[in-house]
Structure 1
Amino acid sequence: MSLDISLDADDDWDSSTDWARLAEAAARAAIAESAFPGLVQAARPVELSIVLTSDEEVQALNAEWRGKDKPTNVLSFPQAEPEELDGAGTPGPELMLGDIVLARATCAREAAEKALPLPDHAAHLLVHGTLHLLGYDHMDDDTAEDMEAREVRALARLGLSNPYEVAA
């Protein structure tokens, strides 16, 4: 699996964090908890693109692609069809899973509200985004429960706690 990371230096993403390492670990953990764990060691090349950018850039993408003119924490743009995911174990051309885009200020604000380090919250959003690229969603109670359970297990692989647990 190859990862293409784009970091917009003007958007205040902390350079002391190894974002490429964090993104790869989060993507691998999400894939391991999906119905397609073999994608990490697939017989064909698998690529995932991650862009760490500004709220303004995410707002523009959100307006263009989702009709919502506001920033959001993470956007996912899947490119692989379900049959391509199922067939990833066989040799073939490169499989592009899609793109994940994170908004710096929104992520930082949410992390502060949750009293979490930004890298931990970003890891959760990268896991969440990767699962979206693999076809998971949270449009109803059943799919939301399944996706959240996969997120929790993936985050545990990274040594991170359950973000859905209500503090006592």
Structure 2
Amino acid sequence: MIEVQVEDPAWGEALSDVEAVVRRAAAAVLGAPIPDDQPLATVLLEGDEAVQALNARFRDRDAPTNVLSFPATAVPGAPDDDPYLGDIILAFGVCSREAAEQDKPLAHHLSHLVIHGLLHLQGHDHQADDEAEVMEARERTLLAGLGIDDPYRAILDREP
């Protein structure tokens, strides 16, 4: 269903079950599993430098970010019903710092960001307020199904 590539060993050092965390979050979004020989997306667990390079190249932002999503584009000659959604890349340093700042387990933050990235690959966005409300509501529902608290409540509770 999901191809997981751990490129920065810090992910595995911090979370011994990191691949299982990613797959569980992905299954919450994607539903019934499909055969492993037909992945729907790739999740790359990287370091900050690699994500910063991608962010600079594709988004003109020369800084690391927590998660990047790259939707798949149609390949000439490929069937129109190709289920592949795209790629998600997460930066360990940014994600671990955010989890600590938000006083939440790294596994919960990783789950949230995998769900967030997959929703982007499915066409959700948060540029406009109404789009953000729909996307955040979906994230809350999916995370609740995994037994994870509303990530936005913690952020709102800290705002002055």
Q: TM-score range by the shorter chain?
A: 0.7 to 0.9
- Percent identity, aligned pairs only, is 43
- Matched residue, 1:76: 69
Amino acid at match of 2:127: M
- Stretches of structure 1 that go unaligned for 5 or more consecutive residues are 33-37, 82-90
**C-alpha displacement of 1:41:** 5.2
Q: Deviations over 1:68-113 (max 9, x none)?
A: 11100000001167xxxxxxxxx98642110000000000110000
Number of residues of Structure 1 aligned to a counterpart in Structure 2: 150
- Stretches of structure 2 that go unaligned for 5 or more consecutive residues are none
Q: Following the alignment from structure 1 to structure 2, what is the Cα–Cα distance between the partners of residues 149 and 45?
A: 29
- Matched residue, 2:144: 156
- Matched residue, 1:96: 84
**Aligned Cα root-mean-square deviation (Å):** 2.4
Map 1:133-152; keep pairs closer than 5 Å.
133-152=121-140
Map 1:15-54; keep pairs closer than 5 Å.
15=13, 16-32=15-31, 40=33, 45-54=38-47
**C-alpha displacement of 1:9:** 4.1
- Matched residue, 1:60: 53
Q: Following the alignment from structure 1 to structure 2, what is the Cα–Cα distance between the partners of residues 101 and 46?
A: 16
Q: Following the alignment from structure 1 to structure 2, what is the Cα–Cα distance between the partners of residues 134 and 80?
A: 12
Q: Following the alignment from structure 1 to structure 2, what is the Cα–Cα distance between the partners of residues 6 and 46?
A: 13
Contact 1:136-1:143 at 8 Å conserved across structures: yes
- Matched residue, 1:85: none
Contact 1:80-1:133 at 8 Å conserved across structures: no
**C-alpha displacement of 1:20:** 1.7
Q: Does 1:167 align with 2:145?
A: no
Query: Given the two structures, how large is their TM-score scaled by the length of structure 2?
Result: 0.84
Q: Deviations over 1:42-78 (max 9, x none)?
A: 9x94521000011000000000011111100000001
Q: Which fold has the larger relative contact order, with Cα–Cα distance below 8 Å and residues 6 or more apart in sequence?
A: 1
Contact 1:111-1:121 at 8 Å conserved across structures: yes
- Matched residue, 1:116: 104
